[in-house]
Amino acid sequence: MATKNKGVLSYGFLCFMFFNLSTAQAQSPENGEAAEGQKRILVGEVRSGTDHKTIEGVSLRSDRGAAMTDEQGKFRIPVTVNAGKLEVRHIGFQPQSIDVNANMKQLEILLHPLENQIEEVEVVSTGYQQLPKERATGSFVQIDNELLNRRVSTNLLDRLDGVASGLQFHTSSAGSDRFNPSFIQIRGRSTLNANHQPLIVVDNFAYDGDISSINPNDVESITILKDAAAASTWGARSGNGVIVIKTKEGARGRPTKIALTGNFTVGAKPDLYEPSMPQLSPAEYIEVEQFLFDQGAYNTRIRNGWQGISPAVDIFRNTRDNVITSSDSLRMVNELKKMDARSELLSHYYRQSLQQQYNLNFSGGGNNNQFFISGGYDDNRNNVVNSYGKRYSINANHAYLFFDDRMRVTTNLVMTSSKSGAGAQVANLYPYDRLTNDQGEAMAITNANGLSHSFTDMFGDGKLLDWKHRPLDELKRGSTLLGDRTEYRLNTAVDYRFNDYFKASVRYGFEKGVSESVNYNGVESFYARDMINRFATIDATSGEVAFNLPVGGISNNTTNAFTSSNGRVQLDFAKNWGKHELNAIAGSEVKDVQTDRSGVIYYGHDPLSLANQNASIDFSRIYNYSYGSGSGRISTGASQYNSVDRFFSYFTNASYTFDRRYTISGSARRDESNLFGVATNQKGVPLWSAGLAWTLSNEKFFHVPFIDHLRVRTTYGYTGNVDRSLSAYLTANSASHLITSYNQLYADIVNPPNPSLRWERVGNLNMGIDVMLLSGRLSLTADYWRKKGTDLIGPAPIAPQTGVSTFTGNTASTSSRGLDIELTSVNLDGKIKWTSTVLFNIAQDKVTEYLLETGSNYTVISSPSANPLEGYPYWALFSYRYKGLDNEGSPIGYLDGQESTEYNSIVNSLNREDLVYSGSRVPTHFGSFRNTLSYGAFDLSFNIIYKFGVVFRRASLDNSSLYGSGGTVTPTQADYGQRWQQPGDELHTVVPAMIYPANGFRSRLYAFSESLVESAANIRLQDIRLGYTLKKIGGLSFTDLNIFTYVNNLGILWRRNDYGIDPDYPTSFPQPRTYAFGIQAQF
């Protein structure tokens, strides 16, 4: 009921606005150039003198009034028919003063950039409107096309790393682990468990597809909205900031331009000997195995007969059983010690990467239309053999103008198709494993997870499939993972300008993406052979083999699809009169995103006929494996899932500027959604912002000769966030995998009813200053910000008698604050031009309220983000206090402040006093230093990125992971040589002695001790780009031809840790250096 009332209200409001503007229309009959007494209206457009592009937001002032150019650079301004001056001003351009005369009809004004000034995009795009920066009160970062193209990458977002102030990239490794999170964030973290990624907007609508489907060559510019005034337009999804991507468009009345881009990038093989991925040498590895063998750790394995034992353990056993002599044994072990699996991996499994990128586009326009059409092709050959990615994209963007340019119809159609492939993985190798024999043939390996050779040689009497695992054969005929994603996006908009002040627009956006992945394991793959053999039944008496799983390929198919529809109606008002400028928008939008996932596994699959033999399988039966005591079902892999997210929102925002000195702005938005399922009138969250800006340099009293421009601004307001996992109703999960041991489906109550559930809100304060000095030689933007996340959704304890021990509601809070500074200086501006840009950011957050008292210190240390402590950052790193070793090589910790070796009690202690806060796992101080030099046709730029205020936990010798179950030795260990070995060693090492059996608590104390925490501070030379621009080759002329080379991941200039570890990749291979060569041409 309440909705309907609201609906009628807003409808009334819009109609009211509409009728108002109709009357406004009727009352202002001035049209075109019709003169009226001494006054007439002058129309025209403003373009840039350098590239002829129209410029939006240029201020014009005559003695009769003021005006501003629109999106197409057009203006209409009242002037005195035959006299007076027209003042034209725009930041970054030389001001002009034009004498008005009677002959002037269609006036075209060319503005020339200020000397000594890098051209800046002066219009910020919020996705709802184009806002002249000088009127904006909020905090924006803009990345123009040139900066975006500086870096060569397939992925768009990668190009923002190190160039966007306040945008933080934390990419520790491809598959991030819980200690080294991987994400991007804007201004710290203001949520706990809800979405923490910025909202991405592409061409006016929130983007629901995969960011990798956007071809960076089709992107014109990116704007990052950071504070309340900037982001609150996006309402309940804007709490983490917004990244607005604007794609390229054509230009009216411009001859067709053709642009061609091509580049290729070569990347080195990963360095397997990196200190971040330490490995026991074969000799050390064998030493550990010998130690374990002597302790009897392999006896169970050896006795059961089928479990794989390593080649070294095989030698020890044969020696013990007197199958071989001790001198043979020594010789064979020495042979093994000479092997190095890593060198084999480097020659067979890794390769240099090669990425090729091509893009061709046509753009231009006639009198009443404009177009941009592009095609792109990316071909990536990755570091691992068989692993590749390809992307094809087509983008067509058209705009048509009707009725004297009053109506503008735009259509944008984008289609992207991506294909990827990955081959079998080579994992779990012993450090001395060989992939090839002396003849270069593929060798069978046996690993800890596999079966022993002696077992596979004999078992099944030849009636089973070959059961050997040969990694090199796997690379050729093994499992493959093929991905295929198609995405298309259609945007249409109709804009209609009623008069000089009012504009209405209707937009519709549709996106659909389907991604399919097929994990195909041919009958020759080890995966398929192993599974078929495992599920075979061998008759105990006759020895006959019955295959319960059909002999054939196993194809695991999953499909993911999403469909997103967005609609928006919007009214824009913009009017300048006298010293006043008023801009306002109001509108309403609706969004619907649906996703579908499904999966199925085909057994006995024939890739040619696509036939499968699933019908012959009894999926409900529990089969005893052909060996050992295990048993299991054959999984159907069948699954289906769908989700629907719907939003309905109203929004308005307005800004008023007086005399180009004072601006006030405000915005309000209300969102409703189906996510919470409460009565509709409780679904919404009102979000608002208010802002103020003062351009001091436009004040009459302001006379500081060396300051060109000085502006201060501040905003305050609320943005929001969504946790999609919650509902206000009693909800239960009844997914198909929830099956009791009696094969009955059950429902798991996820959420007890909580009718008061609300959206998360983030309060934002921003105070900024923009200064330009010395005729544009120096410009500075500095913003201080503070964010308070309130009503954050987090767990809170509740009396267990209710049946739930925790209850998830709006119970938590965070607070964060920081500083964003961007300083650009033109150092040299003669023949040699040299510009430097320094970015300096501080972002510190902490959890201020979290009601759930978490369990032991171990849970806090091992998953701090799931168990935040009040007063510490979300990504806090905690450790155990650590004293060192005693004279037996045992680690000494602290229990209730006292030295202790009661490892169980230390690890599970509840006393937080025993914890050490080691710092933030995400940099709190970061930024970059970018330099651009040019001389004649040459240009050179390089970027230095730095991170401070961040720590990481180094891996060391972990007694418990060193020997896994059944004596499996995990080779990735550091500090093996530094371990305590004899009394006295405790004076110079903190690495505990190896004991058998390992004590898990003792190992944890050391693995999570303060002595393994290192500062991750570092400064790195990220990249260098060298380009050469020419206008002509022989008879062929270009508008522009740029040939460039670009080197990425150059290396670390300085790091705080002494171990040579790249702290951004503490547990994985650092990004290999890449070399790119490319060409960008415009005809």
Partner 1 sequence: MKTKIHFFITLAFTLFIVYACTNSDFLNVKPNSTILTPSTLEDVQKLLNHNINLCSGLAVMSSDEYVVNEQDWNVATAIERNAYVWAKDLYEGTRGILDWDRPFRAVFYANNALAVLQTLEPREAEQVMYDDLKGQALFKRAFASYELIRNFCKPYEEASAETDLGIPIRKEPAIDRLVQRSNLADSYQFVLDDLKRAAQLLGPRLGSNLFRPNDAATHALLARIYLDMGRYAEAELHADSTLLLYDRLIDYNTVSTTSATPFPNTHDELIFNAMTVGLYSFTTSGSLPRRYRMSEDLMDSYVANDLRLQLYFVSDNEGRYIMKRGYYGTGLYPFTGLAVDEIYLVKAECLARSGKEEQAVEVLLALLDKRYVSGKTPSANDILDDKTVLEVVLEERRKELVWRGLRWQDIKRYNREGYNITLTRSLGGQTYTLPANDPRFVFPIPDDEIEYSGITQNDR
Cα–Cα distances (Å) from 379 to 100, 153, 357, in that order, read 56, 11, 6
Q: Which of 458, 644, 704, 1079 binds partner 1 (CB under 8 A)?
A: 644
Q: Which two tokens stand for residue 425?
A: 């993985």
Residue 1002 or 1025: the one with the smaller Cβ distance to partner 1 is 1002
Q: Which two tokens stand for residue 195?
A: 């979405």
Minimum distance of partner 1 from residue 1009's CB (angstroms): 20
Q: What distance in Å separates the CA atoms of residue 1020 and residue 173, rounded to the nearest whole number?
A: 17
Stretch that binds partner 1, among 133-141, 513-521, 795-803, 967-975 (CB under 8 A): 795-803
Residue 540 buriedness (CB in 10 A; 0-12 / 13-18 / 19+): exposed
Residue whose token pair is 């990244």: 243
Q: Which of 18, 273, 658, 935 binds partner 1 (CB under 8 A)?
A: 18
Q: What distance in Å separates the CA atoms of residue 518 and residue 485, rounded to the nearest whole number?
A: 12
Residue 235 or 522: the one with the smaller Cβ distance to partner 1 is 235
| Residues 1014 and 1056: beta-carbon distance below 8 Å | yes
Q: How many residues bind partner 1 (CB under 8 A)?
A: 76
Helix axes 311-320, 326-338, angle to 10 degrees: 170
Residue 105 buriedness (CB in 10 A; 0-12 / 13-18 / 19+): exposed
Minimum distance of partner 1 from residue 331's CB (angstroms): 37
Q: Which of 680, 901, 960, 1082 binds partner 1 (CB under 8 A)?
A: 680
Q: Which two tokens stand for residue 696?
A: 């001091």
Minimum distance of partner 1 from residue 620's CB (angstroms): 12
- Which 986-1045 residues touch partner 1, going by CB under 8 A? 1001
Q: Which two tokens stand for residue 69?
A: 């150019």
Q: Which of 97, 403, 610, 620 binds partner 1 (CB under 8 A)?
A: 403
Q: Which of 171, 318, 486, 674 binds partner 1 (CB under 8 A)?
A: 674
Q: Which of 102, 323, 458, 732 binds partner 1 (CB under 8 A)?
A: 732
Residue 116 or 756: the one with the smaller Cβ distance to partner 1 is 756
Cis peptide before 891 (omega within 30 of 0): no
Q: Which of 705, 803, 936, 984 binds partner 1 (CB under 8 A)?
A: 803
Stretch that binds partner 1, among 52-60, 603-611, 675-683, 777-785 (CB under 8 A): 675-683
Q: Is residue 1054 a contact residue for partner 1 (CB under 8 A)? A: no
Q: Indicate the length of the chain as a whole number.
A: 1083
Q: What distance in Å separates the CA atoms of residue 565 and residue 802, rounded to the nearest whole number?
A: 41
- Which 484-513 residues touch partner 1, going by CB under 8 A? 494, 496, 498, 504, 506
Residue 727 or 972: the one with the smaller Cβ distance to partner 1 is 727
- Which 955-974 residues touch partner 1, going by CB under 8 A? none
| Residues 505 and 494: beta-carbon distance below 8 Å | yes
Q: Which of 11, 16, 577, 702 binds partner 1 (CB under 8 A)?
A: 11
Q: Is residue 620 a contact residue for partner 1 (CB under 8 A)? A: no
Q: Is residue 648 a contact residue for partner 1 (CB under 8 A)? A: yes
- Which 624-643 residues touch partner 1, going by CB under 8 A? 629, 640-643
The pair phi, psi for residue 745, each rounded to 5°, is -70, 140
Minimum distance of partner 1 from residue 684's CB (angstroms): 10
Minimum distance of partner 1 from residue 746's CB (angstroms): 4
Minimum distance of partner 1 from residue 243's CB (angstroms): 25
Q: What distance in Å separates the CA atoms of residue 1053 and residue 1065, rounded to the nearest whole number?
A: 15
Q: Is residue 7 a contact residue for partner 1 (CB under 8 A)? A: yes
Q: What distance in Å separates the CA atoms of residue 764 and residue 758, rounded to the nearest whole number?
A: 18
Q: Is residue 746 a contact residue for partner 1 (CB under 8 A)? A: yes
Residue 400 or 942: the one with the smaller Cβ distance to partner 1 is 400
Q: Which of 773, 798, 823, 1050 binds partner 1 (CB under 8 A)?
A: 798
Q: Is residue 10 a contact residue for partner 1 (CB under 8 A)? A: yes
Q: Which residue(s) pair with 369 in the sheet?
A: 400
Minimum distance of partner 1 from residue 648's CB (angstroms): 5
| Residues 87 and 65: beta-carbon distance below 8 Å | no
- Which 910-949 residues touch partner 1, going by CB under 8 A? 910
Could you report how far apart the first and last alpha carbons of the chain are, in Å? 61
Helix axes 282-294, 311-320, angle to 10 degrees: 40
Q: Which of 419, 646, 661, 833 binds partner 1 (CB under 8 A)?
A: 646
Q: Is residue 733 a contact residue for partner 1 (CB under 8 A)? A: yes
Residue whose token pair is 């209200």: 9
Minimum distance of partner 1 from residue 964's CB (angstroms): 14
| Residues 96 and 70: beta-carbon distance below 8 Å | no
- Which 513-572 residues touch partner 1, going by CB under 8 A? 567, 569
Q: What distance in Å separates the CA atoms of residue 596 and residue 599, rounded to the nearest whole number?
A: 10
Minimum distance of partner 1 from residue 386's CB (angstroms): 35
| Residues 645 and 724: beta-carbon distance below 8 Å | yes
Stretch that binds partner 1, among 26-34, 60-68, 746-754, 1018-1026 (CB under 8 A): 746-754
How many helices (H) and strands (E) in the chain? 16, 51
DSSP codes joined into one string, 911-965: -GGGEEEEEESS-SEEEEEEEEEEETTEEEEEEEEEEES-EEEPP---HHHHB-G
Residue 673 or 1018: the one with the smaller Cβ distance to partner 1 is 673
Radius of gyration of the chain (CA): 33
Stretch that binds partner 1, among 134-142, 274-282, 466-474, 800-808 (CB under 8 A): 800-808
Q: Is residue 6 a contact residue for partner 1 (CB under 8 A)? A: yes
Q: What distance in Å separates the CA atoms of residue 998 and residue 291, rounded to the nearest whole number?
A: 13
DSSP 8-class letter at 752: -
Q: Is residue 31 a contact residue for partner 1 (CB under 8 A)? A: no
Stretch that binds partner 1, among 235-243, 339-347, 737-745, 1050-1058 (CB under 8 A): 737-745
Q: What distance in Å separates the CA atoms of residue 494 and residue 227, rounded to the nearest whole number?
A: 30
Give the number of other Cβ atoms within 10 Å of residue 924's Cβ.
20
Q: Write each residue from 685 to 724 as x if it is in contact with partner 1 (CB under 8 A), else as -, in one continuous string.
A: ---------------------------------------x
Alpha carbons within 13 A on the beta-carbon side of 776:
13
Contacts of 390 (CB under 8 A, 6+ apart): 377, 378, 379, 380, 418, 419, 420
Minimum distance of partner 1 from residue 4's CB (angstroms): 6
Give the number of other Cβ atoms within 10 Å of residue 633's Cβ.
13
| Residues 345 and 272: beta-carbon distance below 8 Å | yes
Stretch that binds partner 1, among 13-21, 151-159, 247-255, 320-328 (CB under 8 A): 13-21
Minimum distance of partner 1 from residue 968's CB (angstroms): 16
Stretch that binds partner 1, among 2-10, 209-217, 435-443, 1004-1012 (CB under 8 A): 2-10
| Residues 631 and 589: beta-carbon distance below 8 Å | no
Q: Which of 37, 800, 936, 1034 binds partner 1 (CB under 8 A)?
A: 800
Give the number of other Cβ atoms within 10 Å of residue 59's Cβ.
22
Minimum distance of partner 1 from residue 1001's CB (angstroms): 8
Minimum distance of partner 1 from residue 747's CB (angstroms): 4
- Which 33-62 residues touch partner 1, going by CB under 8 A? none
Q: Which of 258, 266, 804, 895 binds partner 1 (CB under 8 A)?
A: 804
Q: Is residue 3 a contact residue for partner 1 (CB under 8 A)? A: yes
Q: Which of 632, 855, 977, 983 binds partner 1 (CB under 8 A)?
A: 855
Stretch that binds partner 1, among 60-68, 360-368, 733-741, 772-780 (CB under 8 A): 733-741
